[in-house]
Structure 1
Amino acid sequence: MIYTVTLNPSIDLVVEVANFQINQINRIERERKFPGGKGINVSRVLNTIGVPSVALGFIGGFTGAFIQGALESEGIQTDLVKIQEDTRINIKLKTGKETEMNAQGPALTEQNIRELYKKLESLQQGDFLVLAGSIPPSLPKTFYSDLTRMYRTRGVKVVVDAGGNVLAEVLQNKPFLVKPNHHELSDLFGVAIKTFDEIISYGKKVVEMGAENVIVSMAGDGALLFTNGEVYKASIPKGEVVNSVGAGDSLVAGFIGTYAKEQNFSKAFQMAVASGSATTFSEDLASKEKIDFLFDQVTIKKI
């Protein structure tokens, strides 16, 4: 089974305003709301490609009830910890360009954290654990690295999608997969990575630091997979960029969902890039039809 953890989920409220003006009343022309958070996005795309998962994390109040109801209506299994404060709402304002306003989120109690650990006890050897997104201030900064160390020793394949110091610490505990983009790769090593050869060089260093597998996403320039001592490059299908939110999460879902079923790194990488691209070309997360349409347009080449 695949378990996703979203420590600070949200309702993503997307509003479109044609001519936004400060200090004026602005009429919203269109609005949509989705359950948000990186782990939740992974569970939603896994569900789209027919792979079951369990969504773990913290929810509270009427906003949390919306998220749980939305996930369950899509057929996604949840095992969420109920907290006292309301789950946050993030606003994405589209007015020619896109502006994001992200809330801090609720505080977590020691009891909340203990409940999450108790739910994680059901993980068994061969399961996948996806840790994605930022770590709230209520939790120790080592939360992901602690979980990676704990569950890797139990035979669980831990996937971490985070950047900065969190990624650096996690690598010491040998996660199954990490997915930095090229900007996060630069931040990890404190250097300006500008060329394709430099990305390959530093991607290999991430493997040397402890990751079993590494995917480096490079926006319109494709993606690289580092696995079993080899490097593979994936092309990106052509299409109109509509939405950047959730593309990386979709890539993670496409990869682990396919690998869990077929144990084939090349096909998993192809599905990862097709899924990420399908979300980029959509208003919400990728649909099955769009992923299938783009799959054959993704080419994988060993470098």
Structure 2
Amino acid sequence: MIYTVTFNPSLDYVVTVPKLEVGAINRTKGEKVFPGGKGINVSWVLQNLGIPTRILGFKAGFTGEEIQRLVEVQGIACDLLSVEEGFSRINVKVRSEEETAINGQGPVIGKADLERLLKQLETLQTGDMLVLSGSGPSGCAPTLYGRIARLMQQRKIPCVVDATEKLLENALEAGPFLVKPNKEELEDLLGRKLPTEADLVEGARELRKKGARNVLISLGGDGALLVDAFDAVHRHAAPRGHMVNTVGAGDSMVAGFLAGYLKNRDYQEALHWGVCAGSATAFSMHLATRETIEELIKGN
């Protein structure tokens, strides 16, 4: 079972506006509501690929209940913990000539709530995997992901960390199975520009020296680069297609990578699945389906 943690899930209200005009009334030509949050996205695509998964995290208020309902309608196991103060956020995604997003704040997650989540994590067993995705709760300690990753390390449960800055940096010493920064996030973490592929490989190896086993760098329309647990370098170009959506593409890459890796424990195959899953989401109005991913896998 692959468990994912989303500390601050959302209802994503996605609207299409032919031409967005600031300061004017804009009328939509299409609108959808999806459950959002990076961990939820990972579980959604894993479910589409037939990989058992369960969503953990927090919910609050009427929006939190709707997030859980929409996830369960998809057939995904979901154990979001209820918190009393605030309500789960609503994110507005406007698709026009350019994508615009307004993200809500989310509920207050207290120390006692975090302890309840840690208790949940104690139920994970040998053979399970944990994915920590996105930002922590508002005001959380930058050591939070590191604390959780160390708990998983002690129990020999592989941990995936897709986060930024200190949340990622503090988790490296716990030896996560996989980290997935994009190019800009890796540059921010290392404090320097990485203009060439050789620079990216060097940066990935620095993260490996700090503890990460596999470093997957997403490169948007240029595909992805992987430095694996044996220090081998793998490169994969992105499939050709018409990009209509960037939301969840990186999360889909994580899901595809894990699904591909679990097939044969082959890193090149895992990278192939990851890039195709990320691209399939980028070419879709929402997250990739099994059919759209497999179509790209067969054709690339």
Correspondence for 1:181: 182
- Aligned residues of 1:15 and 1:92 also touching (Cα < 8 A): yes
Distance in 1, Cα, partners of 2:52 & 2:110: 30
User: How far 1:263 moved relative to its partner?
Assistant: 2.1
Report the equivalent of 2:220. 219
Mapping 1:1-303, distance limit 5 Å: 1-84=1-84, 85-227=86-228, 228-298=230-300
Percent identity between the aligned chains? 45
Deviation at 1:290, TM superposition (A): 0.8
Contact 1:236 1:273 in 2 (8 A): yes
CA distance in 2, matches of 1:129, 1:37: 16
Deviation at 1:43, TM superposition (A): 0.3
Q: Report the Cα offset of residue 146 of structure 1.
A: 0.4
AA partner of residue 216 (structure 1): I
Q: Distance in 2 between matches of 1:182 and 1:43?
A: 24
Q: CA RMSD in A?
A: 1.3
Cα pair distance change 1:297/1:206, threshold 3 Å: farther
Q: Please say which of residues 6-15 and 221-230 is displaced more in the overlay.
A: 221-230
8 Å CA contact retained: 2:226, 2:235: yes
Distance 1:94 1:221 in 2: 22
- Tell me the SS of whatever aligns to 2:187: helix
Q: Tell me if structure 1 keeps the 8 A contact 2:4–2:56.
A: yes
Alpha-carbon displacement from aligned partner over 1:86-108 (angstroms, at most 9, x marks no partner): 10000111221111111111101
Q: CA deviation at 1:202?
A: 1.2
Deviation of residue 261 (structure 1)? 4.0
Tell me if structure 2 keeps the 8 A contact 1:109–1:138.
no
Measured against aligned partners, the alpha-carbon deviations of 1:189-213 in whole angstroms (never above 9, x if no partner) come to: 1101111111111111111111011
**CA contact 2:15–2:29 (8 Å) conserved in 1:** yes
| Structure 1 residue matching 2:234: 3-state secondary structure | strand
SS across alignment from 1:192: coil
Counterpart AA for 1:129: L
Give me the whole-angstrom Cα distance separating, in 1, the residues matched to 2:142 and 2:184.
21
Structure 1: stretches of 5+ with no match in the other structure: 299-303
> 8 Å contact 2:143–2:166 — kept in the other structure?
no
Cα deviation for residue 297 of structure 1 reads 3.5
| C-alpha spacing 1:294/1:164, structure 2 compared with 1 (3 Å) | same
| Offset, 1:138 | 4.1
Alpha-carbon distance between aligned partners in 2 of 1:202 and 1:143, rounded to the nearest angstrom: 23
What's the TM-score, normalizing by structure 1?
0.95
Q: Separation in 2 of the partners of 1:270 and 1:201?
A: 22
Partner SS, residue 267 of structure 1: helix
The one-letter amino acid of 1:279's match is T
Does structure 1 conserve the Cα–Cα contact (< 8 Å) formed by 2:142 and 2:170? no
Return 5+ residue gaps in structure 2 as ranges: none
Partner AA of 1:14 in structure 2: V
Query: TM-score, with normalisation over the residues of structure 2?
Result: 0.96
The CA distance in 2 between the partners of 1:166 and 1:119, in whole Å, is: 20
Which deviates the most, 165-174 or 281-290?
165-174
State the alpha-carbon separation in 1 of the partners of residues 273 and 21 from structure 2: 41
Aligned counterparts of 1:44 and 1:188: Cα–Cα separation in 2: 28
CA offsets, 1:116-166, max 9 Å, x none? Answer: 111111111221100000112243221100001111110100000011122
CA distance in 2, matches of 1:250, 1:198: 25
Would the aligned equivalents of 1:79 and 1:119 in 2 still touch at CA under 8 Å?
no
Partner SS for 2:261: helix
Question: 1:264 and 1:232 mapped to 2: Cα distance?
Answer: 11
Letter in 1 for 2:249: A
Letter in 1 for 2:147: D
Q: Deviations over 1:25-68 (max 9, x none)?
A: 22222111110000000000000000010100001111111111
